[in-house]
């Protein structure tokens, strides 16, 4: 299913063409005047998360549905067969902390007339972002990019690159400052 959606994916702004995505000017479907009825805002709870939310608010109205998503990386997928005991308590603690941080971001970044639906899920970040967008029929995805160029991104691709490639809706990438 994801491969079929690739042709419908649009890159809006942010990460550079070296990430494997086409330049934003070629297929931009959203601009500062566009409004969407349902937007998925994926945050990593870093210091840049409020900036991502502010950018997402540019595309919504008070009647829009906003889904604020944080993905807790599944520790099993990171640790693999090298750990005999699954770190269930740590995984559960990360989910609890993620929910608390989303509540804090909601209180700081949204006014009383606009309240996002807060979701914390566990899994592989890019896959959960794309899957959540599909399940909630998001019109657009907004997420933050990182300035770092990590060696593993050259082999596997970053979360942003994979979301852009597999999303079935426009993706707005908010670059780091």
Query: For residue range 43-72, what is the model confidence (pLDDT) as tens digits?
Result: 999 888 999 999 999 888 888 999 999 999
* Neighbouring C-alpha atoms within 13 Å toward the C-beta of 169: 22
Q: Is the residue at 31 inside a domain?
A: no
Q: Is the residue at 165 inside a domain?
A: yes
Q: What is the pLDDT of residue 34?
A: 66
Beta carbons of 9 and 168 less than 8 angstroms apart: yes
> Mean per-residue pLDDT for 3-9?
37
Q: What is the pLDDT of residue 114?
A: 82
- Residue 128 makes CB contacts below 8 A (sequence gap 6+) with 69, 71, 121, 122
Q: Is the residue at 109 inside a domain?
A: yes
Q: Is the residue at 56 inside a domain?
A: yes
Q: What long-range pairs does 23-28 form, CB within 8 A, spacing at least 24?
A: none
Question: What 8-state DSSP symbol labels residue 176?
Answer: -
Q: Is the residue at 78 inside a domain?
A: yes
Q: Is the residue at 28 inside a domain?
A: no
Residue 19: pLDDT over 50: no
Residue 27: pLDDT over 90: no
Task: Pinpoint the alpha helices (H) of 28-124.
Answer: 49-57, 75-79, 88-109
Residue 21: pLDDT over 60: no
**What strands, in cross-sheet order, belong to the sheet with 170-174?**
10-13, 170-174, 140-144, 38-42, 65-73, 117-123
Beta carbons of 42 and 129 less than 8 angstroms apart: yes
Residue 4: pLDDT over 60: no
Q: Is the residue at 120 inside a domain?
A: yes
Q: List the domain range (segments joined by +) for residue 107.
A: 2-21+36-174
Strand duo 65-73 + 117-123: pairing: parallel
Residue 28: pLDDT over 60: no
Residue with more model confidence, 16 or 41: 41
- Could you give the number of structural domains in the chain? 1
Beta carbons of 36 and 11 less than 8 angstroms apart: no
Q: Is the residue at 102 inside a domain?
A: yes
CATH number for position 106: 3.40.50.620
pLDDT band at residue 32 under the 50/70/90 scheme: low
Query: Phi first, then psi: what are they for 83, rounded to 5°?
Result: -120, 130
* Neighbouring C-alpha atoms within 13 Å toward the C-beta of 128: 19
Q: For all residues of the chain together, what is the average pLDDT?
A: 78
Residue 177 DSSP SS3: coil
């Amino acid at each position: 299913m994801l491969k079929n959606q690739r042709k419908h994916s649009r890159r809006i702004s942010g990460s550079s063409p070296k990430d494997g995505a086409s330049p934003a000017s070629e297929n931009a479907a959203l601009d500062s005047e566009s409004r969407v009825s349902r937007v998925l805002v994926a945050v990593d709870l870093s210091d840049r998360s409020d900036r991502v939310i502010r950018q997402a608010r540019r595309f919504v109205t008070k009647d829009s549905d906003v889904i604020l998503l944080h993905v807790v990386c599944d520790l099993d997928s990171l640790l693999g067969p090298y750990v005999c005991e699954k770190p269930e308590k740590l995984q559960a603690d990360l989910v609890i902390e993620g929910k608390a941080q989303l509540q804090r971001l909601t209180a700081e970044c949204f006014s009383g007339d606009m309240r996002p639906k807060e979701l914390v899920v566990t899994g592989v970040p890019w896959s959960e972002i794309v899957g959540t967008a599909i399940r909630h029929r998001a019109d657009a995805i907004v997420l933050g990019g990182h300035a770092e160029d990590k060696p593993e991104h050259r082999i596997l691709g970053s979360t942003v690159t994979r979301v852009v490639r597999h999303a079935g809706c426009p993706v707005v990438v908010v670059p780091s400052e």
